Amino acid sequence: MLRVDIVTIFPEYFREAFEHGIIRRARAAGLVEIKAHDLRSWTSDKHHVVDDRPFGGGDGMVLKPEPSFAAVESLAGARRREEIPIGKRVVLLSPQGKSLTQSLAAEFAGCKQLVLICGRYEGVDERVAEALATDEVSIGDYVLSGGEPAALVVIDATIRLIPGALGSETSATTESFSDGLLDYPHYTRPPELEGMKVPEVLLKGHHAEIARWRHETAMEKTKRNRPDLLKE
């Protein structure tokens, strides 16, 4: 069982996010338990302030460190990265993080607990990344206004890799990225749509030919859309 704790200033953002499809099924099957927590509940001042002005000046506010340290202490039982037990990960979501990859999602899928701290684009006090989080993760080279959509992405990519979460046990290993290529093109009926035909080879049932076609088209599509995946 994987336990996922989200720490956010917008817990309501996640209200219906886990009630669909594979995530809903995985929860119902007891494979994962997910809870969104309000960062403000770990403040001690009357107005539950979670941000403050940046030292050194500049625009925007910075998320204060103390509520995040208190949150991780209560959720994971430690106030320093080195004290986070094996099998638990404390993930700070920020555009400065390492990229989320299929292999990182697979590591997360094998954990017993993930604590996801949603940053905000103006910034999070660096001591959270430096001393508290086991991982600082970004979902791509663009800027989101907060880490909340990124937390959803991490959770989705992770849960579908938990054994038993997918209907057909094979689908997670035959798709995009498991072999370093994009997925091959898929077709269903009708065999012709407004003059656009399904490739002949797929209609004939010659399995070796189909496998070869799928590898070739996956390769072409990767070259065209993601040449970076073919380098190194």
Tell me which residues touch ligand 6GU (CB under 6 A).
93-95, 97, 119, 121, 138-140, 142-144, 146-147, 150
State how far the Cα of 70 lies from the Cα of 75, in Å rounded to an integer: 9
- The SS3 of residue 184 is coil
Q: Examine residue 190 and say whether the peptide bond preceding it is cis (omega within 30 degrees of 0).
A: yes
Shorter beta-carbon distance to ligand 6GU: residue 31 or 104: 104
**Shortest gap between Cβ of 126 and ligand 6GU (angstroms)?**
15
**Shortest gap between Cβ of 154 and ligand 6GU (angstroms)?**
8
DSSP letter string, 65-115 = HHHHHHHHHHHHS-SSGGGSPTTEEEEEEEEEEEEP-HHHHHHHHT-SEEE
Q: Residue 100 corresponds to which tokens in the numbers above? A: 């989320």
Shorter beta-carbon distance to ligand 6GU: residue 97 or 181: 97
Shorter beta-carbon distance to ligand 6GU: residue 65 or 147: 147
**Shortest gap between Cβ of 99 and ligand 6GU (angstroms)?**
9
**Shortest gap between Cβ of 141 and ligand 6GU (angstroms)?**
7
State how far the Cα of 61 lies from the Cα of 52, in Å rounded to an integer: 5
Shorter beta-carbon distance to ligand 6GU: residue 113 or 138: 138
